[in-house]
Amino acid sequence: MKIILIGIQGAGKSTQGNLLSRKLKIPYLSSGHIFREMAKEKTPWGRYVKETINAGVLIPDAKTVKIIEAYLQRLEYANGYILDGFPRTVPQAKAFSNGVDCVIYLTVSDKEALWRLFGRLSQENGVREDNTLDAIYKRIQSFHEHTKLVISHYKRRRLLEAVDGERPIKVIYQDILRRLPKYSSRP
């Protein structure tokens, strides 16, 4: 099964992605993690990625699609995946050739996302350079500007399932399972 998780930063995508990964026995992949790992590389590309994500700006579409598709060619993703944080733009969604069975959109208000992220930021004590309040705010704005259009794209393709992400974690998880094609016939 190939699943995409979409939602504003702080919506709980990684929490739900890891729970689903254990249940479905398919790997969870975060585009943000890939880019943060690349940003650690002492190469011109690594510096470019670091500067781009620290500014809260998106990596260009063509480069993002190539990176994600290359990762999904790995043997560990042969039986499916749970992908978090991609695609973020309609051109990425249209260019993505790996196929998708279901897109889960975790709906969370900006206010709730900011509360969650502020709590996370306070706990991390600035561990991640891209987790400044300014960068978080820019990513939330980017979500509204670009990614909401991706949601409409998948809705038109009848792949989208919107799930209220402001409920308890276990309730959200059960709701997602009920909406997955493989589990939809189960009570």
Residue 89: CB partners within 8 Å, gap ≥ 6? Answer: 58, 61, 146, 147, 149, 150
Domains of the chain: total:
1
185 occurs within a structural domain: no
Residues of the chain where predicted confidence (pLDDT) is lower than 50: 185-187
68 occurs within a structural domain: yes
Residue 66: CB partners within 8 Å, gap ≥ 6? Answer: none
For 52, the token pair is 């781009």
Report pLDDT for 125: 56
From the DSSP assignment, how many helices (H) and strands (E) are in the chain?
Answer: 9, 5
99 occurs within a structural domain: yes
186 occurs within a structural domain: no
Domain that holds residue 57: 2-179
pLDDT in tens, 91-106: 999 999 888 999 999 9
CATH number at residue 12: 3.40.50.300
Residue 164's SS3 state is strand
Residues 157, 161, 166, 172, CA torsion sign:
negative
184 occurs within a structural domain: no
Q: What pTM does this model have?
A: 0.82
41 occurs within a structural domain: yes
